[in-house]
Amino acid sequence: MKRTLISLAVLASLAAGSSLAQTTAQTGPTLYGNLDLGVLSINNLTPSPLAYVPLAAKGASSVQMKDGGLGASNWGIRGREDLGGGYAALYQLQGNLNTKDGMTGGVNSTGGMSFFNQTAMVGLAGPFGELRFGRQVSPMYWAMASTDARGGRYFGSVLTALVGLNSASGAWAGNQSNVAFGTIYNDNAILYTAPTFANITVNAEYALGNTAGSGRANVQEALTAVYDANGLKLSALWYNGYGNNLGVATALYTAATGSAATGAAAAAAAGFSPTANTNRLASVGALYTLGTWTVSGSLMQARNPAHAIVKGGSDSLDLWSVGAGWRPVPHINLTAGYYRVKDNRNAGNKSSQFAMGAEYSLSRRSLLYVQVGEVKNEGANMNMSPVYASPVVPNTSVHALMVGMRHSF
């Protein structure tokens, strides 16, 4: 895949270069964004500084102002320059904007903070499709969200279920965006989108590890296909990554032993390394809309081929979902979804999530929403939360209610 994508990049660059002598026109830069803020009530929040690592603790209830009910607030700049001959240059910068306190940016793949933590890319478009280079949202997210009746929302959706699945690995703390199974954001990524053919759009991504002396260390790969025609959407995704859990595993072993050297040695002995194939995710999904009604379903498998796990964690988990939506009038949207995670390594450990929501459009850009969710976690490593970025105590039931407003500009 690496050689194929690099070859495509070279061909695209040569093709675009042949048109540079022609007259060019620029569209943009365009400023855009989303502001999403509400009041959240939730119980059994974890007080653990390790956040998504499942640790036994007494949960806390909270009523709080929360950014991101449907999706995180963000802002960005994007543009397109016509190069002539059907070719164009693309660019985009996008980062989180926390409406509750005005903070900007967020964590990146290494645990640092980035101003444009969601997207920072340049690219080329033409008859061949599109090539994008830089930090990007993985096509994995768009594929799984396209066949979720809840649309991959930040409250009670396939996205929050995926976060719960990742935390069940025991080796993801939420302090960086390079997760255990699948990765929503990728650094150093080359993303190719093929022209849509027979109503099918294919995306292939290769994220370089940028590790000296190794062509495989910290590499991430993704391949997706989405069919969209006559009210039917079908999605398939495959994700594969190396070295995803090393940092968290080392930190956990270091905390347990009191020594950085001993912790690193223990993580290595357990099979963690920059080249260990610890991240493999595959999924298929379907969504069908007929008139005002929508139904959806999906199946997902998360595997750790290297079988490198921390104590109490898991290297094999499954997730399935069903959902439904109803739009009785154009400005009202009602959705519901059920998501279930099963741990195949630790017998009896499982999580189930049910969520429903109502959205009322005030205009094309503004809407009000109310959402309610319930999660039942069973097992010491199961701590799915119905709310994104709100980690909870494992082996507990969680209830959440959020009322808010979202505006796009």
Residues above pLDDT 70, as percent of the chain: 94
User: Do residues 194 and 129 touch, judged by C-beta distance below 8 A?
Assistant: yes
CA distances from 73 to 114, 405, 407 (A): 15, 11, 9
Give the pLDDT confidence score for residue 20 in this predicted structure. 36
- Above 90 in pLDDT, residue 110? no
Over residues 247-287, the pLDDT tens digits come to: 999 999 999 999 999 999 999 999 999 999 999 999 999 99
DSSP-based three-state secondary structure for 82:
strand
Residue 378 burial class via C-beta count within 10 angstroms: exposed 0-12, middle 13-18, buried 19 and up: middle
Q: Where are the domains of the chain?
A: 2-408
Helix (H) or strand (E) holding 26: strand 25-45
Give the pLDDT confidence score for residue 377 in this predicted structure. 98
User: Do residues 76 and 19 touch, judged by C-beta distance below 8 A?
Assistant: no
- The pTM for the full model equals 0.91
What is the spatial distance between Cα 55 and Cα 46, in angstroms, rounded to a whole number?
A: 8
When pLDDT is averaged across residues 211-223 and rounded to a whole number, the result is: 95
CA distances from 188 to 134, 185, 269, 363 (A): 5, 10, 29, 38
- Above 70 in pLDDT, residue 210? yes
What is the spatial distance between Cα 233 and Cα 268, in angstroms, rounded to a whole number?
A: 43
The model's confidence at residue 56, banded by pLDDT at 50, 70 and 90, is confident
Alpha helices in 74-203 (DSSP H): 139-146, 158-167
CA distances from 299 to 202, 246, 250, 284, 286 (A): 19, 27, 31, 6, 10
The model's confidence at residue 24, banded by pLDDT at 50, 70 and 90, is low
**Helices and strands: H and E segment counts in the chain:** 5, 19
- Above 70 in pLDDT, residue 178? yes
Looking at every residue in the chain, the average pLDDT score rounds to: 93
Give the pLDDT confidence score for residue 25 in this predicted structure. 66
User: Do residues 174 and 45 touch, judged by C-beta distance below 8 A?
Assistant: no
The CATH number of the domain covering residues in 2-408: 2.40.160.10
44-58, 132-146, 335-349, 386-400: the lowest-pLDDT one: 44-58
When pLDDT is averaged across residues 138-160 and rounded to a whole number, the result is: 98
DSSP for residue 156: S
When pLDDT is averaged across residues 314-337 and rounded to a whole number, the result is: 98
